[in-house]
């Protein structure tokens, strides 16, 4: 494998659509309100992609150093695990990605708030720094929260609340209650992807000392938690639509994404072998992305 292909593989491109789903949803609400800005949207997407790639590099490094990525791991082999990228090189990659992402975040903040809203700028700058730290500390270091069962909480916060509510605020600079329901939808579905990943890997994680929520709950209870995430996200979406001042046929478009999610839930119910869950990760991630795209379409038509 060439050096470029090794870095592309480490960036894990298949995770990127899920990472920008919240940005698309928050921006779609702003579009429907007539507050959309193409430049803000572009920079928000770039910043979020940077954070996701940073997280992927950090996860590759953290799990590789801790020995979690071993011969028992299910799924694609990681860069550090295979030896395609060294520890020193991955560290440099993490630093460079973090710096570029921070530059993009600063540009986004300045574009959204300018010089007039200094307090907003400071708040989002701190939020950007926290996002970078959270991306790295998921698996890196002795206090890595992904090894203590807190990964689901951080995914819900940053993929859901921060992504949807934060991106919407960049346009309108106001907090509106209904947007939190959409943030719950994306946060819950993103947590479902992580839960699937942890259910798939829970045997190896337990042996290596990685105490994910699945390891703490057990496989059967993790399934129940998974059903809750999918069903709760559906009800949150229904509640959002019911809160709209007028309900139109186009508001039903995003619900199409719950059809494959329903089929997926049935698949999880019937699955007893953790390794068999690997194909389901892509299905939930792409269904979440489909939800975001359909939500954007509903704002356009």
Range of 156-170, 197-211, 238-252 with top mean pLDDT: 156-170
Residue range 284-296: mean pLDDT, rounded: 97
Task: Give the C-alpha distances (Å, rounded to integers) separating 258 from 124, 234, 300.
Answer: 32, 7, 21
d(CA 204, CA 37): 45
pLDDT digits (tens, 9 = 90+) for 107-137: 999 999 988 888 999 999 999 999 999 988 8
Q: Is the pLDDT of residue 264 over 80?
A: yes
In contact, 45 and 37? CB cutoff 8 Å = no
* 249: number of Cβ within 10 Å: 8
Average pLDDT, the chain: 90
When comparing pLDDT for 273 and 60, which is higher? 273
Residue 196, Cβ neighbours under 10 Å: how many? 26
Give the residue among 212, 210, 222 at the shortest CA–CA distance from 274: 222
What is the pLDDT at residue 244? 87
In this prediction, residue 165 carries a pLDDT of 97
Distance from C-alpha of 281 to C-alpha of 264, rounded to nearest angstrom: 10
- What pLDDT is attached to residue 30? 96
> Which pLDDT belongs to residue 177?
87
Mean pLDDT over 159-184 rounds to 95
Tens digit of each residue's pLDDT (9 = 90 or more) over 62-82: 777 766 655 555 656 666 766
Distance, CA of 84 to CA of 93 (rounded, Å): 13
- Sign of the Cα torsion 159, 164, 165, 166 reads positive
With beta carbons less than 8 A apart as the criterion, state whether 296 and 31 touch. Answer: yes
Among 42-51, 208-217, 284-293, where is mean pLDDT lowest?
208-217
pLDDT of residue 13: 87
pTM for the whole thing?
Answer: 0.93
């Amino acid at each position: 494998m060439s050096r470029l292909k090794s870095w592309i593989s480490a960036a894990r491109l298949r995770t990127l659509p899920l990472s920008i789903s919240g940005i698309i949803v928050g921006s779609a609400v702003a579009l429907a309100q007539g507050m959309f800005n193409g430049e803000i949207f572009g920079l928000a997407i770039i910043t979020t992609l940077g954070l996701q790639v940073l997280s992927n590099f950090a996860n590759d490094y953290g799990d590789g150093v801790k020995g979690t990525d071993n011969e028992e791991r299910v799924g694609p082999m990681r860069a550090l695990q295979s030896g395609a990228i060294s520890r020193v090189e991955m560290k440099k990659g993490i630093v460079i990605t973090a710096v570029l992402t921070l530059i993009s975040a600063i540009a986004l903040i300045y574009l959204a708030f300018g010089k007039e809203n200094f307090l907003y700028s400071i708040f989002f700058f701190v939020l950007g720094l926290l996002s970078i730290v959270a991306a790295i500390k998921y698996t890196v270091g002795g206090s890595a929260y992904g090894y203590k069962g807190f990964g689901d909480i951080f995914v819900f916060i940053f993929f859901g609340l921060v992504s949807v509510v934060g991106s919407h605020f960049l346009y309108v600079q106001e907090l509106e209650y209904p947007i939190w329901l959409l943030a719950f939808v994306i946060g819950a579905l993103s947590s479902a992807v992580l839960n699937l990943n942890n259910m798939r890997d829970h045997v190896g994680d337990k042996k290596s000392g990685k105490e994910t929520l699945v390891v703490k709950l057990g496989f059967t209870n993790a399934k129940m938690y998974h059903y809750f995430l999918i069903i709760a996200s559906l009800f949150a979406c229904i509640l959002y639509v019911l809160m709209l001042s007028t309900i139109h046929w186009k508001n039903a478009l995003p619900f199409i994404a719950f059809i494959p999610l329903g089929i997926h839930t049935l698949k999880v119910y019937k699955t007893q072998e953790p390794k068999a869950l690997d194909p389901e990760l892509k299905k939930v991630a792409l269904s979440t992305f489909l939800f975001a795209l359909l939500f954007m379409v509903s704002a356009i038509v």
